[in-house]
């Protein structure tokens, strides 16, 4: 083994440095003038998130043939091995070399699973620093089409934007997630449901645009390695200055969803404090540019808050605003999902239908999001846990707990 380490140490250092340089270059390419909080330095010795080409290079750096990298790729993304000792198809010397030089798969344990009556599952994943993140699996099995399994993934531990109607912001903010911490959420959902994830939405805890570098790296892995089509992936944002243009430059075929929630700047600032730094007019101009760059229609999310933004007059104002910036927009209405200590109320169904009808009468395509996972606190805007600011000092359990609601 000493001989192996001696032979591999120099190439391995070069590989690690090469990957770090690539990461730095990618960071520079996606940097903006916005005050984006970056993810912690990614551990270059985490296997999850690496491409097949990178894994082949890693194998040859360890004195192995390149096809061992293909085997590694299969073990990570098909077999979904969680520990290097589970790489039974690899030579023992290769496995030992990976462990002894500090490599890990990058999978975290499931801390708890909460099940809703409608089949939705919320998973709490315990990260390496003992912080918890929430991800949601949403199954859809009806007569309208094939079975779908959507993974609603988090991009941060908590969220710094503190939107007034969202539980995540009320729990505080700890840090950005690293790319493998995003990817592993999808793998955890697949294992829980014993089914392939067909859709991914970046609508869990956090603001994806404040962690754009990690989100883009995770997006690449989800698309290329786990093989989820780009058009089956949605990136949602409240809006962070300059980042929509940066995202547009990557020309992804994924959906950009803007959390709008108000038809004018004054009301939007009341609901979303961060809106002061990114006026509605600026967001809409960036959305226009995004469409021209990518050819992809922008979707707008609008949470309906009873007596605040759910009136027919608000719908008329929203339609007028959208029409002033072009055609073909889609509005996704989300009736507010109750959270503890909130000043807001869920609107009556009659008000939701009236709002939708007012948009449709003005030639705006509209849909009403079906509430899923409400009884498991897994519905839109409800993700929050008590460990966002403080990590668990001592794990209270040794394995995942299932808590049917």
Catalytic residues: 134, 380
The DSSP bridge pattern shows strands 299-304 and 255-259 to be parallel
- Stated as kind and residue range, the H or E segment containing 133 is strand 132-140
Q: How big is the chain, counted in residues?
A: 405
Place of tokens 């007596």: 307
Residue 385 CB neighbour total at 10 angstroms: 20
**Angle made by CA atoms 179, 201, 398, in degrees to the nearest 5:** 60
3-class DSSP state of 275: helix
Contact 315, 355 (CB under 8 A): yes
- Point out which residues pair with 294 in neighbouring strands: none
From the number of C-beta atoms within 10 Å of its C-beta (0-12, 13-18, 19+), residue 239 rates as: buried
Cα separation, 276 vs 270, in Å, equals 9
Q: Tokens for 306, please give them.
A: 């009873």
The DSSP bridge pattern shows strands 148-152 and 132-140 to be antiparallel
Contact 375, 117 (CB under 8 A): yes
Place of tokens 């927009």: 329
Closest CA to 237 of 252, 255, 219: 255
Angle between helices 312-323 and 349-360 (to 10 degrees): 30
Cα separation, 61 vs 253, in Å, equals 35
């Amino acid at each position: 083994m000493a001989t192996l380490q001696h032979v591999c140490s120099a190439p391995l250092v070069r590989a690690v440095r090469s990957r770090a340089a690539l990461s730095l270059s990618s960071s520079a390419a996606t940097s903006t003038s916005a005050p984006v909080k970056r993810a912690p330095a990614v551990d270059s010795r985490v296997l999850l998130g690496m491409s097949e080409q990178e894994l082949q290079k890693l194998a040859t750096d360890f004195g192995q043939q390149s096809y061992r990298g293909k085997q590694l790729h299969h073990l990570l993304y098909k077999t979904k091995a969680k520990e290097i000792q589970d790489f039974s198809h690899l030579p023992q010397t290769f496995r030992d070399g990976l462990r002894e030089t500090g490599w890990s798969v990058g999978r975290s344990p499931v801390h708890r699973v909460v099940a809703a009556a409608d089949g939705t599952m919320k998973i709490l994943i315990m990260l390496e620093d003992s912080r918890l993140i929430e991800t949601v699996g949403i199954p859809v099995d009806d007569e309208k089409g094939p079975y779908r399994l959507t993974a609603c993934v988090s991009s941060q531990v908590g969220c710094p934007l503190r939107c007034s109607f969202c539980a995540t912001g009320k729990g505080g903010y700890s840090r950005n997630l690293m790319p493998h911490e995003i990817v592993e959420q999808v793998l955890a959902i697949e294992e829980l449901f014993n089914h392939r994830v067909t859709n991914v939405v970046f609508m869990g805890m956090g603001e994806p645009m404040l962690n754009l570098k990690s989100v883009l790296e995770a997006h690449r892995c989800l698309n290329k390695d786990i093989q989820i089509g780009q058009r089956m992936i949605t990136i949602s944002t409240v809006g962070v200055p300059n980042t929509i243009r940066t995202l547009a430059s990557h020309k992804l075929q994924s959906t950009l969803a803007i959390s709008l929630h108000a038809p004018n700047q004054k009301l939007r600032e009341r609901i979303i404090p961060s809106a002061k730094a990114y006026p509605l007019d600026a967001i809409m101009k960036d959305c226009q540019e995004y469409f021209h760059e990518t050819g992809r229609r922008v979707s707008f999310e609008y949470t309906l808050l009873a007596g605040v933004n759910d009136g027919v007059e608000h719908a008329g104002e929203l339609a007028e605003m959208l029409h002033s910036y072009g055609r073909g927009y889609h509005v996704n209405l989300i009736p507010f999902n109750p959270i503890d200590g909130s000043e807001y109320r869920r609107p009556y169904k009659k008000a939701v239908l009236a709002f939708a009808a007012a948009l449709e009468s003005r030639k705006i395509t509209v849909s009403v999001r079906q509430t899923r996972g409400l009884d498991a606190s897994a519905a839109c805007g409800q993700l929050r846990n008590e460990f966002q600011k403080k990590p668990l000092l001592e794990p209270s359990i040794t394995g995942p707990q299932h808590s049917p609601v």
